[in-house]
Amino acid sequence: MEFNNLHEVLRSLYDEMLPLSADMAAVAKGVAGLGALFYVAIKVWQALSRAEPIDMYPLLRPFALGICIMFFPTIVLGTINAVLSPVVQGTHAILENQVLDLNDLQAKKDLLEREAMLRNPETAYLVSNEEFDNKLEELGWSPGDLITMSGMYMDRFAYQTEQAIKNWFRNLLEVLFQAAALVIDTIRTFFLIVLSILGPIAFAISVWDDFQSTLTQWLTRYVSVYLWLPVADLFSSMLAKIQSLIIEKDIAMLADPTYIPDTSNTVYIIFMIIGIVGYFTIPTVTGWIIQAGGAGNFTRNVNQAAMKTGNIAGAGTGSAVGNIGGKLMGK
């Protein structure tokens, strides 16, 4: 099975397990209902105790979350996936175009390298069986010719062995590169399935007054993990574009008949290693794109509000003490 088919299997796995989030709605409804009861009761009691009018707008929040829980696969997941799917499709189209261009350029470069090797009489027999046979026919059976013939066989065997080792190492790096991409995609699919199935529970917990940041954190995690694939496609597109530029430069140099091509593929191997390492930085890069305030900003805002309240209260207290002192001195 090819790697592309494995990625399709992961897509199908996510689509098949997505309806399981509806099974969590029953449990989430109970948690959300209890949280809504306490939330509304506390807000109404606070307004009554302060003799203030009851603000109905904040009280609508538990009911809005309840609607999201009841229709979670359609309203929540369907909306988020519909918004983010064009991003995934767009980056994947960019990757496919770059890979197609890279494959065409690589095939053209290989053909030009073979032609350059055939132009050189000293290397033509290494890549062509016909040239090798013609050169053997030109030799006789003298001791010198036999030594030359043995050298040709040894050179050809060494060249083929070297190319076989290079191709094996190149194929190994390509497999590792594809494996790294598959690891990222598998972890992404696992995270998305967990977040989707337990999403109603997160929405239900966020109904409670002290756990409202749970909703923001869930949305942040889901969008961030969902964007792993577009970021990975952009990274692969960048590597493919760099390799295309390098191959285009090599093709331009191969147009010179005196140019001797380098078949070591060192640059290609280096970029494959960079790609393998770079794939595991994708979660970090995605975290730079999507960030939420969370509890850290909430705590900081509360502290700032408390400091402002303390400063105002201190100024008021100082003014009151000053007025009392002035009255006492006047008496």
Task: Quote the CA–CA distance of 299 and 307 in Å, as a whole number.
Answer: 12
Integer Cα distance of 207 and 27 in angstroms: 14
* pLDDT at res. 2: 62
Between CA 212 and CA 219 the distance in angstroms is: 12
Q: Which single residue is written with the structure tokens 């009151």?
A: 320
Q: Report the distance separating Cα 220 and Cα 226, nearest Å.
A: 10
Q: Give pLDDT, residue 3.
A: 63
Query: Which helix (H) or strand (E) is 319 found in, with range?
Result: helix 294-330
> Which pLDDT score is estimated for 326?
44
254 close to 113: Cβ distance less than 8 angstroms? yes
Quick one: pLDDT at residue 265?
A: 65
Helix (H, G, I), strand (E, B) or coil at 187: helix
pTM above 0.75, yes or no: no
pLDDT at residue 144 in the model: 66
Q: Which of 3, 63, 68 is nearest to 39 (CA)?
A: 63
What pLDDT was estimated at residue 244? 84
Query: Could you count the other beta carbons within 10 Å of the beta carbon of residue 71?
Result: 14
Q: What are phi and psi of 256, to 5 degrees?
A: -80, 120
All residues at 6 or more sequence positions from 279 whose CB lies less than 8 Å from its CB, including other chains? 177, 180, 181, 183, 184, 232, 235
Q: What token pair was written down for 300?
A: 């900081």
CA angle in degrees (0–180, nearest 5) for 83-89-90? 95
Q: Which residues contact residue 239 at a Cβ distance below 8 angstroms, ignoring those fewer than 6 apart?
A: 271, 274, 275, 278
Report yes or no: 95 and 58 within 8 Å, Cβ to Cβ.
no
One digit per residue, pLDDT tens: the chain, 331 residues? 566 677 788 888 888 887 777 777 777 877 777 777 777 777 777 777 777 777 777 778 888 888 888 888 888 888 999 999 899 889 888 888 887 777 788 788 777 777 777 766 666 666 666 666 676 666 666 666 667 777 777 877 787 787 788 778 878 888 888 888 888 889 999 999 999 888 888 888 888 877 888 888 899 999 999 999 889 888 888 888 888 888 888 788 777 766 666 655 677 778 788 888 888 888 888 888 876 444 344 334 434 544 454 454 444 444 443 443 444 344 4
State how far the Cα of 230 lies from the Cα of 271, in Å rounded to an integer: 20
pLDDT at residue 331, rounded to an integer: 41
Task: State the Cα–Cα distance between residues 232 and 181, nearest whole angstrom.
Answer: 8
Residue 226 confidence (pLDDT)? 92
Q: SS3 of 260, please?
A: coil
The rounded Cα 218 to chain-centroid distance in angstroms is: 18
Query: Within its chain, how far is the Cα of 135 from the centroid?
Result: 55
Q: What is the pLDDT of residue 266?
A: 75
> How would DSSP label each residue in 234-247?
HHHHHHHHHHHHHH
